[in-house]
Structure 1
Amino acid sequence: MKLTMLGTGNALVSECYNTCFVLSENDEYFLVDGGGGNGILHQLKHVGMDWKDMRTIFVTHKHLDHIMGAVWMIRMICQHMSQGRYEGEATIYAHDEVIGLLRGMAENLLQKKQTKFLDERLHLVAVEDGETKTILGRATTFFDIHSTKAKQFGFCMDLGEGRKLTCCGDEPYNDSEKSYVENSTWLLHEAFCLYSQADIFSPYEKHHSTVKDACELAESMGAANLVLYHTEDRNLGRRKELYTEEGKNYYHGNLYVPEDLEVLAL
């Protein structure tokens, strides 16, 4: 299985794309979030992926930097279905509020000849807290991260042989997530900025973590591998170096600070 980071930035970045990624295995793909617009199509193209292969999509929450790219995916899928240039079906998972928003935007922004494929071939599926679906042939459990802002879900994927990948969304860890996060083989967690630059970026006011916070969490939870994303972009040129340097003081597992379009083998 591979993890391809299409975007690694927070909502207001301009030097990289908003956080979204693809898990892939055996020519199957799982797209998580879409970033803030049709840049999702550019990112997929430039990493060598065909947007038509994104047959399973998950949208964590309704913030613009996550949901708008998914709207563009809906448009592309439905438009090509209406033109007879898209074979088969596709599924978008999200909690009920996001599914309602996606359906409403599609029905209000797209043509009826396109939206007629909603539920017929493009399935908008609301998932509940603790509900498990099979994705990439793996048991994948969605969970409420209990956000203090917009309702948001993460997920935990069973990688087999006691291994698991846990995505905490784009907010700090909540104790309600412990059963999913603890002993993760791969933990995906946001890190808005360096702890040493918290006075510049004010992450706590935005309900986000610093590198130090995320690394201390991963250390305490026994995560073997930690991937940091959803960052600021003012340190982009040295982000990997700076974040790794700070993080290694608090976390002794394998720390990854990927760039946009970087691929990690899981």
Structure 2
Amino acid sequence: MEVYFLGTNAGIPTLQRNVTSVVLRLLEERRSFWMFDCGEGTQHQVLRSPLRLGKLEKIFITHLHGDHLFGLPGLLSSRGYQGGTAPLTVYGPPGLKAYLEVSLAVSQSRIPYKLEVVEHAGGLIFEDDCFKVEAGLLEHRIDSYGYRVTEKDSPGSLNTELIRSYGLKPGPLYGKLKKGEDVTTEEGVTIIAADVISEPKRGRVVTLLGDTRPCAGSLPLAREADLVIHEATFGHDLAEMAYQYHHSTARQAAELAKEAGALQLLLTHFSSRYSSGEELEPLREEAAAIFPQTLLAAEFCTFPVVRRRSGH
């Protein structure tokens, strides 16, 4: 599981950065990737990346402002031309379905795969055997949502060397042990499953927050997350402007990460006033003074989602 950025700018694209789009790569877990927001030009960013739209399984839209949405119709259309035939689900606030229906119909775009649009108002919006995704309302000029992606715990591994020491050869009884069932060998030796299975592997949690002021809705989504991706549109010297425009500062993002007990913080959604990496570094320093495990997002860069150790 790793995060890959296609766009890290706020509002409008610049020559240095494109508008918002974040990818959660799940190649080992699902052989696919999920996308969060799809600003204008995202499909061009995909062409410059190692991503293939045929592997895109889900898209989550945080809110319906253009810098998070205008790239969606074109990307959906291009996916079909690039060999994407598997079903695709798009999640987002009410109004998303109408936007896509009109855009695709007026442009006579042909979608040669099953496209499902799921509008939501928060809560649990997806769950299967491996993952669940929850959404929560934030505080912005329009309804804006954050998403909490939870990887479910995976069973512990069998200690095959220890099992063989009991004289048990690989076979059906291994499967029972894996399920947590005690077994008895032909020689009458009982093997306790708990003695030969390691602790379950804790699933990781990734929180991706849409545009927002500091608000109560952010904390439940970020609680004990392994990675929090938070907007840092401005430095804290512009806190009043951030509030007026319903955005956050780097310091405010760090305060949330600290309060939530997160493991790592990634800052993104930077104002165009910060045109270079050197100008962005003070934002990281501002946040790191409160939450040291802070990094700056960068386009076409991969950030592994580190698994929290037991007891941390």
**Which whole-Å deviations, capped at 9, do the CAs of 1:222-258 have from their partners, x for residues lacking one?**
2211111111133323145222222222223x10102
* 2:125 counterpart residue number: 132
CA distance in 2, matches of 1:143, 1:245: 28
Note the C-alpha offset of 1:53.
Answer: 2.0
Conserved 8 A contact 2:213-2:242:
no
Asked if residue 61 in structure 1 is aligned to residue 50 in structure 2, the reply is no
Tell me the SS of whatever aligns to 2:64. coil
Note the C-alpha offset of 1:156.
Answer: 0.6
Tell me the SS of whatever aligns to 1:175. coil
1:218 to 245, 251, 257: 257
* 2:23 counterpart residue number: 22
CA distance in 2, matches of 1:13, 1:91: 26
Conserved 8 A contact 1:172-1:189:
no
**Which whole-Å deviations, capped at 9, do the CAs of 1:158-186 have from their partners, x for residues lacking one?**
13426421112121342134322222221
Q: For residues 137 and 42 of structure 1, do their structure 2 counterparts lie closer, same or farther at Cα, with a shift above 3 Å needed?
A: farther
Tell me the SS of whatever aligns to 1:238. helix
Tell me the SS of whatever aligns to 1:23. strand
Task: Provide the identity percentage.
Answer: 22
Q: For residues 233 and 105 of structure 1, do their structure 2 counterparts lie closer, same or farther at Cα, with a shift above 3 Å needed?
A: same
Q: How many residue pairs get matched?
A: 251
The one-letter amino acid of 1:57's match is: I
What is the TM-score when the length of structure 2 is the normalising length? 0.73
Bigger radius of gyration? 2
2:278 to 238, 246, 249: 238
Note the C-alpha offset of 1:104.
Answer: 2.2
Q: For residues 261 and 86 of structure 1, do their structure 2 counterparts lie closer, same or farther at Cα, with a shift above 3 Å needed?
A: closer
The one-letter amino acid of 1:184's match is: A
Tell me the SS of whatever aligns to 1:213. helix
Asked if residue 122 in structure 1 is aligned to residue 115 in structure 2, the reply is yes
Note the C-alpha offset of 1:196.
Answer: 3.0
CA distance in 1, matches of 2:94, 2:237: 38
Asked if residue 34 in structure 1 is aligned to residue 44 in structure 2, the reply is no
Gaps of 5+ in 2: 154-201, 306-312
Higher helix share: 1
Asked if residue 257 in structure 1 is aligned to residue 310 in structure 2, the reply is no
Tell me the SS of whatever aligns to 1:212. helix
RMSD: 2.3
What is the TM-score when the length of structure 1 is the normalising length? 0.85
The one-letter amino acid of 1:31's match is: M
Note the C-alpha offset of 1:220.
Answer: 1.9
* 1:11 counterpart residue number: 11
